[in-house]
Amino acid sequence: MSENLPNPQQAPERTDNSASGRAREAGSERVKDEALLERVAANDQSAMAEFFDRYGGLVYSIALRVLKDSGHAEDLMQEIFFQVWKKPESFVPGRGSLGAWLAVVTRNRAVDVLRRRKPDDPVDDVVLVSKTNLASEVERSSMMEKVRQVLDSLPVEQQKSVELAFFEGLTHAEIAAKTGDPLGTVKTRIRTALISVRKAIQA
């Protein structure tokens, strides 16, 4: 079954990198995402294989960055994809891109695992505003470079706060205790960093 499915990573590289080309591609991929989820909802196992081929690397990479252990990262990846299989309606088309939704759910779940927090927080109600479509490798790679540039350009204190909160999973109170900075300062730095990323991408 799954062995016969095409692997998107082996697909011919796209050469149209113009803005209009990317827009067409993003729109096309968004439609494919929605169609894919409809097939998943219809218990089409081959659709899950395609879904994994498209987003497995993204989910695994984020889980690995936070958990720093390949075994734990795969466990989390498996759980997230299995949840999509069991409940594909968790993602509501039109609220944002599927890739962005997966990125947030993965990052938040990984932090929950780090903190051994009870997994009954309603993060599966994640709703996000995202104008980016991460289904395309080209779009994803381009966006990754932009975000990295923004993060690298942030003041060191902001970078450190984002690292501790985002990837180390510390609460703002833990960050304040660790760095010796006031709570309000930590909060402002984290929000400012997020806004900086948003503005840079929207620019």
Partner 1 sequence: MTAGEHIPQEDLALYAMHSLSADESAAIRAHLETCAECRAAVAEYSGDIALVALSVDQHTPPDGARERLMNRIAADAANPESNVVAIDAKPVNKVYASIQWSLVAAMIVLSFALLLKIGSLRIEMRQQAALIQQQSAQTARAQQILDLLTSKSAQHVALTAAQAHPQPTGRAVYLASSGSLYFQANNLAALPAGKTYELWVIPASGAAPVPAGLFQPDATGNASVILPPLPTGVPAKAFGVTMEQAQGSATPTAPILLVGAAAGE
* d(C-alpha 200, C-alpha 36), whole Å: 31
Question: Rule CB under 8 A: which of 90-109 touch partner 1?
Answer: 95-96, 99-101, 103-104, 106-109
Question: Rule CB under 8 A: which of 172-191 touch partner 1?
Answer: 172-173, 175, 184, 187-188, 190-191
Does the footprint of partner 1 cover residue 39 (CB under 8 A)? Answer: no
Q: Which of 8, 43, 68, 92 binds partner 1 (CB under 8 A)?
A: 43
Cβ(49)–Cβ(2) below 8 Å: yes
Q: Which of 120, 156, 180, 203 binds partner 1 (CB under 8 A)?
A: 120
Site string for partner 1, 138-167 (x = CB under 8 A): --x--xx--xx--x----------x--xx-
* d(C-alpha 29, C-alpha 10), whole Å: 17
CA distances (Å), origin 93, targets 61, 98, 125: 24, 8, 13
Does the footprint of partner 1 cover residue 14 (CB under 8 A)? Answer: no
